[in-house]
Structure 1
């Protein structure tokens, strides 16, 4: 992701070179028209995404609560698969080609693991048994065993900027940003099952509807969103965000399954979207460089990291209102992360400051500021509550 504060990152340099060769893409990164600082229509409505499990994607575990997608993510509600794993924070250091492992009890780095070139995210597998390190420029995924902390043999995967899993556990979906592809793969071997070329630039982050039948993808470098049919593995919708120079980042669906939020680091806020209708979204300002989106353990709040100003905004999900803003002491660049298993700590990487922040979710107070490698990015807090993982740094249901 482009460094708005201090100039281009190594990834940006790579993108500029590749895009110049292609002669068609932009090195940064939208149509005309102004933006609106207002939330979406608050009138409740019926919607297709939270129907009974019979209406969901075949093979997807039914929701515990059709009105709360994150009902399985309550404090310390760990799956039997992960309950004996040691609690750790895994930090991919994009510019150091390492993963820092933090003990959350002591706030200390206890191990540094060499991985492939330019690790971007640490991603829990659908079955919760493996953490995959996305080595983007190394064109590989490094498997990490969260029970032992040991890595396995890297798997060759081209341009694995980000990684997701379909709700039925049938496929892994690689966000091949520079290849301009969504690549559906076997979730264990990573063998290619289907490659879906896309016309937008910089496929980036995603999330799945409550029924699992579609997912929405952000396209960072063309300021666009895609809607993808999960079972058909086909793009069914595309739209340009109504803000010049938009750079959409993290994507997250609300706990009731009715509203989607897309962080945008140049529009300095989150887009509020009706995913079912896929109509034009509205912009809610949160702060400079809005980037990561994380839901609280009670499903009532969303934490929004504003990377460009060193703050975290708190959105009340039932009312769709911003209710708090926490400022990091001495500034910082809060980026990607996750919430502790007990829900008491928000962990975020400091992308431009070679550090990680631990923030009290009750008060917003900074608990720790931990030095790590250069360019820390998509850290994973693990284990976390939930029955299965949809990928990224941990989207659990």
Structure 2
């Protein structure tokens, strides 16, 4: 146990240092990496060391797995050290690739035109499309079951992803409204309130699709943007808001369970241990799945040899064109190795995905690639304290795209977020071009 604790302490110190550096220098990719890795790999271990729970699912672990916890921590340490080394080493070349990311419209006008159109287009598409599908299903409860449990809506999740795009752009609209009005939160104009409504409505649609994760990411993104652009958040406020968010996410999961139960007429099992219930609700158990992957890959089952990353590269193709395509999410496949009848998956973290596909070479390759991509990202959005576009888009993209690094779903996010946001930036810039000077007549 002592070596597991020492490795955990070293990993936590490294992660905290990178997170602190990211916050101090306003580097959204570093902030995102440290924050999400902390959620997925740090908090669960506190529960182990305090004796509040054991690795899940219990039938596949011994009561104490200190050697396995030590191994997982060493992999996490190697990941973060290689990633940060690559991040620093790639600095001289990073500027060559920054143009691939959505540059801001660089507006000098106080009331930019075109923002509302770019917010309403994806919002209306997502809300109206989801409303139609809910009516076709016969109600919210049945739709939630079809989406979350039965997985019967494949190919239609573009409506869910559109809500993410709408929320990010609405957050940008809200921030520029606050910036030009300089009224803060005490007095919100109708324009600002409209953007808040779009964010809430879009996240409600996300929830109807059975997704709480995007809601959490949007809340985190908004909090970080608020810190840099409206009012600084101290550590006490961060802890209080984090506890409230955890309670809200647990409540949303329970509500989702009630809705699914009403649609199926049967009660779904719950966990008797509240710490396990909290860990599954907040994705803490991804660390458990990582340990399982490190132990069994190459023994109980073969390595995936890059199949999940190939699936990720093909993920942008609509199912109407390529109906046989496999999901890039490794979690469902991984869980079926142990429980063949279960549809929902066990995500194995980004490190786990690279390991299951390529072994320890995957840890090195994935961390090195992630460091390079993160450096390009932070260089592209450098100066976010002075530019609301860089603040909102840079922070939101980092939170939504990086789960501790570049993962199997990264290519899909390029098509669903980066390309539409690049178009939005172009449209807003086009709508706010200065009028050409009139030629004087004789």
Q: TM-score, normalised by structure 2?
A: 0.27
User: Larger Cα Rg: Structure 1 or Structure 2?
Assistant: 2
Report which of the two has the higher share of helix. Answer: 2
Q: TM-score, normalised by structure 1?
A: 0.29
